[in-house]
Each structure stands twice: as C-alpha cells, then as structure tokens.
Amino acid sequence: MAVKIRIPTPLRQMTNGAESVEVEGGDVNELLLALCAKFEGMDKRLFKQPGELNRFVNVYVNEEDIRFLDNLHTKIKPGDDVSVVPAIAGG
Amino acid sequence: MAYVVGLRCRECGKEYPQKGVHVCEVCFGPLEVQYDYARMKGKVTRESIERGPRSLWRYRDLLPINAEPRAGLYSGYTPLRRAHHLEKILNVRELYIKDDSANYPTWSYKERVVSVAITKALELGYHTVGCASTGNLANSVAAHAAVAGMKAFVMIPHDLEQGKVLGSLIFGPTMVRIQGNYDDVNRLCSEIADKYKWAIVNVNLRPFYTEGAKTFGYEIAEQLGWKFPQHTVCPTAGGTILPKIHKAYQELIDLGLVEDNAPKIYSAQAAGCNPVVEAIRAGRDLIKPQKPKTIAKSIAIGNPADGFYVVQAVRQSGGWAMDATDPEIIDAIKLLAKAEGIWTEPAGGTTLAAAIKLIASGRIPRDESICVCITGNGLKTTEVVADQLDMPTSIPAKLDAFDAFIAELDGAGGTRELEPLAAGGPTP
C-alpha cells in the first residue's frame, strides 16, 4: 500500500525539495527501501548497511520511535504517519 | 581573535561553512566546530585567559564566535567549592563542587550554551530564537533573548514543574506546552526548525550551542589552579555537557595549559531514565531509547542525541557510569544542602548520589581528587522536597511559649539539630 513519508530538511535536496514522498511497502524496511530506489544516494544517507540504519537516523511511525515498536520490521497500515527525523541535542 | 575554521561531521568528516545547520546532510551525524589549534599555540595561554572577564567569555578564543559576545556577559565563572563537610561524611580526601546552581541569570549550566548560541544567532542574522527544553534551557533562552531584544519561542513538555514554567514566562517568550515527553518535544522542534526560519538553539544552532558547554570544563581546571580533578562526575541527559567537558580537558592538554593526569569522567543518570548508563554497563555503543519515569525531569531524556559520544568520552577517559533511584536523588539533594549549603535540583541530586555510589563501590578511590558537577538550582523544583521536610511549628509571640517549645525539643532529644548525616549516604 502507499504511505507518505515525511522528509527532513537535510534530505530534501535529494527529493527535489519534496517535504513528503509517497512510497509502497508493508513494513518500515520496505518503505525505506522503496524511498532509496526512488532517489539516488538516499540509501547511503539512511542505511549503514542493509537492515541497519545510520546511528543518527530516527524513524517514527505515528509519532512513536520504531525502536519501541518492531524496528525496521514495524508493520505499516494505510493512513500511518511515517517520518524520518535526525537526532537533536538536549535541553 | 577568532580561530574557528568551520564545521565538520563527526561521523563521516564532511566539512561545512559556519551556518545554521545541525546535522550532516550525508549521514545525519552531528557537526562539530573546527578550530585552528596550531595558530592558538603561544597565543591562547593561561595569562591570556586570566586577563579576560570574570565570565564564560574569558574562554572566547576557544568558542565559535567571530564578532563580540552579545549574550551572557555576566554568565559562567561560577564557584568551584571545596566540600569539606562532604569529604568527612563520605570519607574522601579531596572533593569539589562545581556549582552552576549559581550561574547567572537563570541558575543553571544552560547559560553557557545559550550565551554562545544567541551570540551566534545574532552573528548569523536571526531575529527569533527557540528551543526544545525540559525547563532550564527554556528559562535561559527566554532571559537571554529578552536581553538581546530577540523574539523567543520555547517548547516544553506539558508536565514540567511550575518553577520551570514561571521561570520562563516571566521573561515574556511565547511558550508552548507540548502534549508528550521531552523526546516528543524534541522531534517536533526538529520539524519546526525545518519549516520556520528560526534559530532553534539546540537544533539548527547545535554545533555552536554545544561548544558553550566546554566552559564548564575550562573553569574546573582553571579554578583548581590549572589542574584537573582525577575524577569528574557529570549528569547525562541529551549528552551535551559530558563530552564537552572531555573535549575541554583535551584542548587544555593539547594547548599545554594543563598537565595530563588522565582525568576520568563519569556519567550520572536517574534510574528511571538511564539509557546511557545501561549502554556503558553493558559495554554497548548502541543507546536503547527509554520512556523516562523519574522525578529528575531536567535530565529525563530517553533518546539522548549525543548519548553515543557520552559512552565514547567515558570509555576513553577510563571513567564509568552510575544511576540513582528517586529516593537516593532526594537524599542527595538534602545531603548537599545540609552539608554544603547548596540547594540543587534533582539533576544535581542524581549526580551527587551517583558519585556517592561510585565511591562506595570502589570505582572512585577515596584518596583521589573528585569533582561533582552541579548543573541546576533547587529553587525551581520545590515540589520534589516539599513533602520531605517537617513544616515548622507555629507558636504565640511570647517568650514563655518559646521556652515551652525549647523544653519540648529537649524532651524529644535535647537538640533542634537535624538528624545526623548518614556516613555512607545513599546505599549502593
């Protein structure tokens, strides 16, 4: 199914400025792989290696960090809100 | 004299000019300010620093600003106190408190990071500043923005202590209470920074902001007579201050200003939010995020952005990590107040409690010098001790009533003294 992923500023130069991108996939991993297939170089931004995100890439599904869910295997259903967010400093 | 060269990604090494950008566009790694240390040699000296103002700006050569300081002209240079009573109580030889509960004007270590961030924001042409905060940062941003004549937007979790909320509102910022915990506020602010062209100090100004925390470390060394304590115990929330104290120590060694005595640095967290302590104990690099549940709200960050660098700094320095339960935190707040006259917030209680446990467990030897980093003030978090203290008796304004009161005290043990301090402090 198609789900919208929100793209943070540092990645928008890769998405031609698009703030969100619609991709297909049944879980987070599939969505991100679809995103990588769509935009050249995206895979290096997101993944350290297949199945492992870069240390500072946080992914949220419906406002919940996927590390509290099922990580990259977190299932996606229609209408889910997916966003990629870089980590930020304390306060 | 400005020695800043630019920004560089800590992960992949990509370089950037000085601007409002906080993460590497290649790998999302945090950006770190680069300096020309070779050019500093012989110019940045103990004497050049000692000639500077009695504020954090005495270290301006080591901070990422190009023009004159525009904020925090009276911030920093807080007391480093020998803690003689605590030495006796804890049975250690040499103990110091670095006391940022006395940092001006909003009583926390955040003055350091905000002074640098606001100066930089003005330098870069911003008119509006903001932050995601657990309270102390919001207080500091609101106050310094008022002085600088900037608009301020501060975003906080909805359930903060009243003192922290009022302590921002009084300065007139736009304050937004976000329905969620700090990590939710953080995520939202990251998206706000993307959309609005504001200087969110701990988001798009993060590389400059975090450098301000180094002044905590410089001051410890200078105030100790250009020496390092052998053991520095520091609280960890988002992971800004500890790696920056480590960096400050390293810079002072590299510049030849302080002799390298292999200072060890220790991370303290509340047991109800200890992702970094857990990683260090388990020997992991990976920080597993948590849902915080502790009275130490100012350090309740379950997904610390710089947690990995805390782990690295602790490990490289040969230090360790310790957590403290809420009752231990409260005991330590009371102990610090009764023994040394310093009222700290739960973050400070956490740090002292962790230090006590590190000493008790033998991780920190009793005969070596120790510095406990106190980063916030207890007057902002009165709730946590309110039901822990005996409210005073009320008597008529008559001498015989007072005599009767004293007689009653004598009967109950003969003294108005508070209960003796436990020699071991909180149990490990």
Does residue A91 form part of some domain?
Answer: no
User: Cα separations (Å) of B381 from B173, B298, B325, B333?
Assistant: 21, 10, 17, 11
- Residue A57 covered by a domain: yes
- How far, in Å, CA of B346 to CA of B334, rounded? 10
Rounded to the nearest integer, the mean pLDDT of chain B is 93
Number of H helices, E strands in chain B: 16, 13
DSSP H helices, B104-213, are 110-123, 136-148, 162-169, 182-195, 206-211
User: Model confidence over A20-52: pLDDT tens digits?
Assistant: 999 999 999 999 999 999 998 899 889 989 999
**What is the Cα–Cα distance from B236 to B350, expressed in whole angstroms?**
10
Q: CATH 3.90.940.20: does it fit domain B4-72+110-210? A: no
Q: Quote the minimal CA–CA distance from B386 to chain A in Å.
A: 25
Q: Which two tokens stand for residue B227?
A: 């020496």
At residue B426, the pLDDT reads 47
pTM of this prediction exceeds 0.90? yes
A49 in reach of chain B (CB within 8 A): no
What radius of gyration, in Å, describes the C-alpha atoms of chain B?
22
| Segment B196-218 mean pLDDT | 94
Q: Chains A, B: CB contacts under 8 A, how many?
A: 111
pLDDT at B424: 47
Q: Which of B257, B377, B243 is nearest to B319 (CA)?
A: B243
**Angle of the B326-340 helix axis to the B346-360 helix axis, nearest 10:** 90
Range B307-325 average pLDDT: 97
Q: How far is CA B133 from CA B23, B99, B329, B350, B376, in A?
A: 19, 21, 21, 19, 14
Question: What interhelical angle do B241-254 and B307-317 show, nearest 10?
Answer: 40
Higher-scoring residue by pLDDT: B87, B164: B87
Contact B27 A45 (CB under 8 A): yes
ipTM exceeds 0.90: no
H/E stretch holding B402 reads: helix B399-411
CA distance B300 to chain A (A): 10
Give the one of B28, B203, B239 whose C-beta lies nearest to A57's C-beta: B28
For chain B, give percent helix, strand, coil, nearest 5: 40, 15, 40
Q: Do domains B4-72+110-210 and B80-107+213-384 have the same CATH topology?
A: yes
* Per-residue pLDDT at A14: 87
Residues of B (160-189) whose Cβ lies below 8 Å from A: 180, 182-187, 189
- Using a 10 angstrom Cβ sphere, with 0-12 exposed, 13-18 middle and 19 or more buried, the burial of residue B179 is exposed
- β-pair type (B128-132, B151-157): parallel
Q: Does A16 touch chain B (CB under 8 A)?
A: no
Alpha-carbon B227 to chain mean position: 21
Q: A12 CA to chain B: closest CA distance, Å?
A: 9
pLDDT recorded at residue B331: 98
Q: Which of A61, A59, A57, A58 is nearest to A81 (CA)?
A: A61
Per-residue pLDDT band for B428 (boundaries 50, 70, 90) equals very low
Residue A44 sits in a domain whose CATH number is 3.10.20.30
Would residue A20 count as lying in a domain? Answer: yes
| Domain B80-107+213-384 coded CATH 3.90.1640.10 | no
Among candidate residues A31, A83, A91, A55, the one with its CA nearest the CA of residue B140: A91
Reported residue count of chain B is 428
Residue type for position B364: I
**Position A83: which residue type?**
S
Of the partner residues B29, B206, B308, the one whose CB lies closest to the CB of residue A88: B206
Nearest CA in chain A to B291: A68
DSSP state at residue A58: E
Task: Decide if A26 touches B, using CB distance below 8 A.
Answer: no
The neighbour count for residue B109, using CB atoms within 10 Å, is 30
Contact B101, A58 (CB under 8 A): no
Of residues B119 and B204, more confidence is placed in: B119
d(CA A80, CA B253): 52
* Cα dihedral value B202, B9, B249, B356, nearest 10: 60
Asked whether the beta carbons of residue B238 and residue A90 sit closer than 8 angstroms, the reply is yes
CB of A86 less than 8 A from some CB of B: yes
Question: Which of B:197-226 have CB within 8 Å of A?
Answer: 202-203, 206, 209-210
Taking the Cβ of residue A58 and every Cβ of chain B, the question of whether any pair is shorter than 8 Å is answered with yes
CB of A56 less than 8 A from some CB of B: yes
Which residue range is the domain that position A35 belongs to?
2-86
Per-domain residue ranges of chain B: 4-72+110-210, 80-107+213-384
Residue B423 pLDDT > 60: no
| Total tally of structural domains belonging to chain A | 1
Name the residue of chain A whose CA is nearest to B132's CA: A91
Q: How many residues does chain A have?
A: 91
- Residues B42-57: tens digit of each pLDDT: 999 999 999 999 999 9
B136-165: b or e for each residue (b if 16 or more CB lie within 10 Å)?
A: bbbbbbbbbbeebebebbbbbbeebbebbb
pLDDT of residue B274: 98
For residues B425 and B310, give the distance between their C-alpha atoms in angstroms, rounded to a whole number. Answer: 26
Q: Give strand pairing partners of A83.
A: A6, A60
Interatomic CA distance for residues B147 and B139, integer angstroms: 13
| pLDDT, mean of residues B284-309 | 91
Residues of chain B with Cβ-Cβ distance to A56 below 8 Å are 11, 23, 27-30, 305
Out of B28, B180, B301, the one facing A56 most closely (by C-beta) is: B28
Of the candidates B246, B241, B213, B242, which has an alpha carbon nearest to the alpha carbon of residue B228? B246
Instruction: State the pLDDT confidence band at A91, using cuts at 50, 70 and 90.
Output: low
Three-class SS state of A65: strand
